[in-house]
A and B are shown apart, each in its own frame.
Chain A
Amino acid sequence: MSRDAATAPQVKRELRLHLQNLNDNDLAKVNAFLRIGGERLQCDWTVVFDGEFEVLMRGSDERGDVQGTAGGPAATVCLADAGTGQHDAVEALARPLQYEALLDALSALEQRIASTPALRAVPRAFPPDARFRLLRWPSADLLQGDRDRQRLASFLLTRLVGLDELARLSHVGKPQCMEFLVLLATTGTLDIAAADAVPATVTARAEPQANHQEMDAHHFASIRHGLGLTWR
């Protein structure tokens, strides 16, 4: 049975465009072009000046430090005067900024961001002894059918859990756990709490209907062993 893709609801992903060192004219053009051409783009673009973002657009004269990122921006568009040399940017646009050029560049970046998980905004460093909990099941793009990621996500569903505990229970190495947590943090679906804090956003699950709480790790290990569940 085939499905009509056009009838499926279209949910646009949000991408943040950080603007740095652009003059007033460039700023006005970027905002105007996004407003006019938004329907053409696959994602909803929002202009930001601080905080986390996926794409940096900067004037060609400045590199500078960009607040709120670790390790550099996810992707960069450089706006340079026509005739100047190219910079080490992913995309370079010439002034005066043209409508079609901007939309083409953003569209290309949308494709790259969607296909390259590393090209995403990296969140600020987690607080020490941070604990994590997922607010919703991650997207298929993020999980990529990876069994470890699916299991890690499952461990993050019911309550806050720290990195050490996550690695211990899942038998997945800490670096891999951290990489996954960082990815989850970029989606805005990961609740992050300092140690001992109970964030107001967390909705604790009610007590289970049956008294399964007396089961311990040994019980679950033996259930998994009995069923032949041997991920590690």
Chain B
Amino acid sequence: MAMTQHKIVFSGPPGAGKTTAIAMLSDTPPVVTDVRNTDAGLSKELTTVGLDFGQADLGNGQCVRLFGTPGQLRFDFMWRIIATDALGLVILLDNTRPDPLDDFATYLDAYADLLPTINCAVGIGRTGECALPTVDQFSSLLAERGLAFPVLPVDVRRREDVLMLVDTVLIQAEMRT
């Protein structure tokens, strides 16, 4: 039986939790393309330079393929490639980074052509450690661009939080059928 495949892409700056989020949903340990980080300004030992890949078999001949994009700006060419024909895009942000709103704007710019057509949700991580910017400020940034997507505080180490983001993507897709 032919397998019906759906693609959901997780994007966002380094350390926002893309690989973790995919691992929360993937049936098997995700394929990662992490290499040793040489950027002294990024406090991570490893960094993704290709993509992350996971898969959730839904049964009944359906599966969801989960892709994670590399976070650094120099890999922005990968963002568009990976997001092509995706059922949905989840943008994960880290509220402890120096300028999360600027991070968000970067991704909104990068995906500007896709956003009118793609189902999208935004997850703001580590809001407990850093309360500002507020979740509402991210919504306002979307509104300034004439966009409206779910913006939710999340902990990607909690499967139910990742599922909530995916559910809001599925809801948007469902409403457009």
Question: Footprint of B on A, CB under 8 Å?
Answer: 1-5, 8-9, 11, 134-140, 145, 147, 150-151, 153-155, 157-159, 161, 169, 203, 205-210, 212-217, 219-220, 222-229, 231
Given contacts A1-B96, A1-B129, A159-B175, contact A223 B86 (CB under 8 A): no
Chain B 70-87 near chain A by CB (<8 Å), digits 1 or 0: 000000000000001111
A1 B166 Cβ-Cβ under 8 A? no
B174 A210 Cβ-Cβ under 8 A? no
B152 A150 Cβ-Cβ under 8 A? yes
A135 vs B6: C-alpha distance in the bound complex, in angstroms?
28
A3 vs B91: C-alpha distance in the bound complex, in angstroms?
22
Given contacts A139-B139, A154-B172, contact A222 B114 (CB under 8 A): no
Can you list 18 A-B contacts (CB < 8 A)? A136-B143, A137-B142, A137-B149, A137-B150, A140-B134, A150-B150, A154-B171, A155-B175, A158-B172, A206-B116, A209-B118, A214-B177, A215-B174, A219-B4, A223-B58, A226-B62, A227-B58, A229-B170
Chain B 54-80 near chain A by CB (<8 Å), digits 1 or 0: 001111101010000000000000000
A2 vs B133: C-alpha distance in the bound complex, in angstroms?
11
Question: Footprint of A on B, CB under 8 Å?
Answer: 4, 6, 25, 56-60, 62, 64, 84-87, 96-98, 114, 116-119, 129-137, 139-140, 142-143, 146, 148-153, 163-164, 166-168, 170-177
Q: How far is the CB of B23 from chain A (nearest CB, A)?
A: 14
Q: How far is the CB of A179 from chain B (nearest CB, A)?
A: 19
A11 B140 Cβ-Cβ under 8 A? yes
A205 B116 Cβ-Cβ under 8 A? yes
A135 vs B146: C-alpha distance in the bound complex, in angstroms?
8
Cβ–Cβ < 8 Å partners of A228 in chain B: 163
Q: How far is the CB of B116 from chain A (nearest CB, A)?
A: 5
Q: How far is the CB of B107 from chain A (nearest CB, A)?
A: 16
A157 vs B146: C-alpha distance in the bound complex, in angstroms?
12
Q: How far is the CB of B52 from chain A (nearest CB, A)?
A: 18
